[in-house]
Amino acid sequence: MHTVDSSPAPSEPVRTALRLVIVGSLLLAVLYILRPFLPSLLWSAFIVISVWPGLTWLQRRFRWNRLACTLLLASMLVGVLIGPLLTGIAALVTHGENLIVETRAAIEKIPAEPPAMLADLPLVGSSLAQQWRNAVDNTQSLRARLAPELQKSGRWLFQQVGTVGALFLQLLLVVVFSLVFYVNGAILDALTERVALRIGGAQALQARDQARQAIRSVALGVVLTAIIQSALALVGLLLVGMPLAVLITFICFLLAIAQIGAALPLLVVAGWLYWGQGDTGWALFMAGWGLFVVGGLDNILRPLLITRGIRMPLTLVFTGVIGGLLAFGLIGVFLGPTLVAIAHTLLLAWLQAPSNPEPSVPATPR
């Protein structure tokens, strides 16, 4: 004799809640598994979305197949991402000894009397001036004080070798993931379209397209401006005969991407030329070149490039760039405006949608 289960079936809200819990737990588990690769995946996605029009142009212009164009772009990506890192490491290895020698020479050139500006500081000026005289009078004492700091710096540099190795691995993963995304770009585009339509219909699809355009506009404005600024910085560094010009140029590029400013390293170089080399003319030239030529592009070229092809206020774009940078780090330069573009598009679609009409009251039969 079979026993009939008389327990009540779960209601529809309970079933929906269970489905959401299961799906949410699965998504969290997948994100936890992919967590070490998320930065590389996001960077690869942003790079591929930004450069995808170039891939299609290469295919149409030269009638190459997808694989040939993908290999060409991947090679260029290796040169852009990994090349400067290796060049900077090689420059440090090559010129590291020269930097130490010049640092020691600069210590020997410290004037016996402190600058008048230092001595005139309120409260602490006289004490600092006396410390200056004591240090200069006894160079051996100064070296003894600096020796522990130099040892700490050496240990710190040794510890950073692992950081550089991790950075190299992340950049290599970016290249590999970008290669995969390039090859399967059409499939991924169709997949995101289906997901957007299933989630929110035409409005979600429009938000996806707006986010994609925001990524391309920010990449065009931020990255292209950073490249031009770095090229101009390299020209100025070569004109003054600055050692480690390539490494300083790479630092200018990173600071321009991070919205800190490519002119900052050039101002440091100007200070080194003035106080370290005693070359006032080239120091003034480098300061002016950094402030007005390199730094001036931030206020002219970048806004013009970002506003091309994006239907979103420039204020929102820059809010997304700066806010994303503060919230997520360097990758937030692209992630911030992407999220802002999605929210902006969905908000406009919701505001423009017709409100639900009042239900009609059926006529009373006579």
Whether residue 207 is found in the same domain as residue 333? yes
Whether residue 279 is found in the same domain as residue 338? yes
Whether residue 71 is found in the same domain as residue 173? yes
CA distances from 175 to 163, 179, 256 (A): 19, 6, 22
Whether residue 235 is found in the same domain as residue 297? yes
Q: CA 223 from chain center: how many Å? A: 9
Whether residue 161 is found in the same domain as residue 42? yes
Please report, in angstroms and rounded to a whole number, the separation of the first and last CA atoms in the chain: 59
* Token couple for 9: 């079936």
- In this model, does residue 241 exceed pLDDT 80? yes
Number of independent structural domains in the chain = 2
Sign of CA pseudo-dihedral 246, 252, 317, 203? positive
Last residue of a domain, one of 153, 183, 213: 183
Whether residue 237 is found in the same domain as residue 297? yes
Q: Which of 91, 53, 96 is nearest to 247 (CA)?
A: 91
Q: The domain containing residue 61 runs over which residues?
A: 37-183
Rounded-to-integer distance, Cα 61 and Cα 246, Å: 33
Whether residue 119 is found in the same domain as residue 245? no
Whether residue 48 is found in the same domain as residue 117? yes
Q: Rounded mean pLDDT of the chain?
A: 79
User: What is the 3-state composition of the chain as percent helix, strand, coil, each rounded to the nearest 5?
Assistant: 80, 0, 20
Whether residue 166 is found in the same domain as residue 54? yes
Whether residue 97 is found in the same domain as residue 208? no
Task: Give the pLDDT confidence of 280-328 residue by residue, as tens digits.
Answer: 888 899 999 999 999 888 878 888 887 776 777 878 888 888 888 888 8
Task: Give the pLDDT confidence of 108-143 residue by residue, as tens digits.
Answer: 666 666 666 666 667 667 777 777 777 666 655 555
Residue matched to tokens 């590291």: 96
CA distances from 110 to 3, 133, 270 (A): 97, 10, 18
Last residue of a domain, one of 155, 183, 211: 183
31: in domain = no
Whether residue 270 is found in the same domain as residue 210? yes
Whether residue 160 is found in the same domain as residue 206? no
210: in domain = yes
80: in domain = yes
25: in domain = no
- Global confidence as pTM: 0.68
DSSP codes joined into one string, 59-114: HHHH---HHHHHHHHHHHHHHHHHHHHHHHHHHHHHHHHHHHHHHHHHHHT--SSP
Task: Give the pLDDT confidence of 155-189 residue by residue, as tens digits.
Answer: 555 555 556 677 778 888 888 999 999 888 889 98
Phi/psi at 302 (5° precision): -65, -45
